[in-house]
Chain A
Amino acid sequence: MKDGKQYRGKTVAESSKNKVFIVMVMIFLVVCLFLYFARAILMPFLIAAFVAYLIFPLVLKIQSYGYRRWVGVAVIAVILAAVLAAFLIIFIPLLISEIEKFKVNYSDYYKCFSDYLDILRRKVEIAIPVIKSYNISDIIIERTRDFILSEVQKIPAYLMSVFSVFSIIVLIPMLVLFMLLGADKSINAALNFLPSKYIETLFSVIYKMDAILGKFIRGQIIEVFFVGGMSVIFLSAFGVNFALIIGIIAGFANMIPYLGPLVGLVLALTVGIIQFQTFAVAVKIVVVYAAIQFLDNNLVQPFVIGYNLNLGPVAMIFAILAGGQIFGLLGMVFAIPVMAVFKTIFIMLIQKYNSVEI
């Protein structure tokens, strides 16, 4: 009995710290598990949260003039609705016609590409005769054809499913509206239930997350517009078909570090080479994409985002692949900020754990 008391007296602070740590880890695991099972319906909620998070400071700004919350939300909603309507009227018909064109022309493209591969094979086999004897080129061509037949055909359908009409017009705006009107109250109410002992620590965690995510999201949006816009402009200037689709895909793909920039390049190269049947356009495209990446990495990122997540390249690649494995495309996009957030939280917890101050 005496021993027990002594034990408790000695390590009371440490055991409570351990409890916090264990509870945090458990909550984290439960949330991950839940999100994993609910991942099919996550997309509209995430996009809505994304938009609401972006708009919320503007609503607060209007509110700070003394107006009620709904006035701010209404003003922003009207402006956004106008922008969205303009976007739908101008871009959607263009986009749909490009997608239709792609669907119709797909077999021609495939044939062209296939013929081109044959020509390429002959050239390569003449240059390097060893390849012919091992049938390597046959295998490579077979694989490429299979890939294109099975995967590339899915791209338009995937684009359509991600941006389904119902979710764009009804679900997402509704969710954004409700989030703007009341989500902060629910969050505050939830925070009020927490023991006051942890409130300051919790605030540190929440505001650090807020800072990281805020910078990340604003930065990503600017980057998407920069890379996508530049791609559309230059590809249109070169007269490459489907410049709009390729530009949009390149912009969004750019959200995924390392792998993303390649997606736009490969798409543009494929379409360009098939369309013009020369390498001249390929050189132009590579130069332009390299220039866009250079500008993005050296001007846009440091200037606009100005953040350093302090994650090593290996950790980043691991996070992207793991995110892609678990959550698909969304997982790849959000892998880096989520990892940065968890890194921050763990560093804070460890610092708290180490600073024994009783």
Chain B
Amino acid sequence: MIKKLLKFLFTDNILKKDIDFLKKIVLFRDISERCLAKLALIVFKKTYLAGEKIYEIYHEANVVYIIKSGQVKLSAVSGGKIVEAENFFGEISLIGNRKHNCSAVALKDSELYLIYRSKFDDMSSSNNKAGLIVMRNLASIFAKRLKYSEI
């Protein structure tokens, strides 16, 4: 009983839920719980209404977006796709000063977690291992995409 009360008083349940959510994201696979906690503390939570533009094609890419709930439509010149909850987009921004290669519109009311590149860079410079793992995950995602588009 007392243990429960103490746990309730001291542990941050919202943070814990955020960590559990981030664990499911492919980009953050194999990252330690502590780093996920750091990430969860730097995310900016924003709600987009259905039909709201998130970003437009060729705009400066500074933020990676993770979908907590809802649905987002990405459309590029070559085609489009619909991204569901527990997925992410705008990952090109993690690599460097790039521009978005598609535009994004919320199809339903969506709650997104935004991670700004320089915040992510700060995190990975204080924890190289986590940064390396994220980059490896990103590389394997890009490699998979290349495999289907070429050869």
Interface residues of A (CB under 8 A from B): 60, 63-69, 71, 188, 191-192, 196-197, 199-201, 203-204, 207, 211, 357
Contacts and interface: CB of A to CB of B under 8 A. Distances in A.
B11 A200 contact: no
Contact of B59 (A65, A71, A200): A200
Interface of B: 9-12, 15-16, 34, 37-38, 41, 44-48, 52-56, 58-63, 99, 114, 116, 118-119
B60 A200 contact: yes
B8 to A, nearest CB: 10
Given A64-B41, A207-B116, A196 B12 contact: no
Given A64-B34, A191-B44, A197-B53, A204 B12 contact: no
Given A67-B11, A71-B10, A197-B53, A357 B58 contact: yes
Nearest to A200: B62
A106 B10 CA distance: 56
Given A188-B44, A200-B63, A211-B118, A66 B15 contact: yes
A64 B46 contact: no
Contacts, number: 65
A200 B61 contact: yes
21 contacts: A60-B38, A60-B41, A63-B41, A66-B11, A66-B37, A68-B9, A68-B12, A71-B10, A191-B44, A192-B46, A196-B48, A196-B54, A196-B55, A197-B53, A199-B46, A200-B59, A200-B60, A204-B60, A204-B62, A207-B118, A357-B59
Contact of A67 (B12, B55, B56): B12
A65 to B, nearest CB: 7
A68 B41 CA distance: 12
Contacts of B41: 60, 63-64
Nearest to A71: B10
Contacts of A199: 46, 63, 114
Nearest to A188: B44
A142 to B, nearest CB: 57
Contacts of A197: 53, 55-56
Contacts of B47: 192
Nearest to A348: B60
Contacts of A191: 44, 46
A142 B46 CA distance: 66
A68 B37 CA distance: 12
B12 A69 contact: yes
- Of A67, A200, A211, which is in contact with the most chain B CB atoms at under 10 Å from its CB? A200
Given A197-B53, A199-B63, A188 B118 contact: no
A195 B55 CA distance: 11
Contact of B38 (A64, A71, A207): A64
Contacts of A203: 44, 62-63, 114, 116
Contacts of A68: 9-12
Contacts of B114: 199, 203
Given A60-B38, A199-B114, A200-B55, 7 more contacts: A63-B12, A196-B48, A196-B53, A197-B53, A197-B55, A203-B114, A207-B116
A63 B59 CA distance: 34
Contacts of B119: 207
Contacts of B11: 66-68
A244 to B, nearest CB: 38
A203 B117 CA distance: 10
A71 B48 CA distance: 32
A35 to B, nearest CB: 26
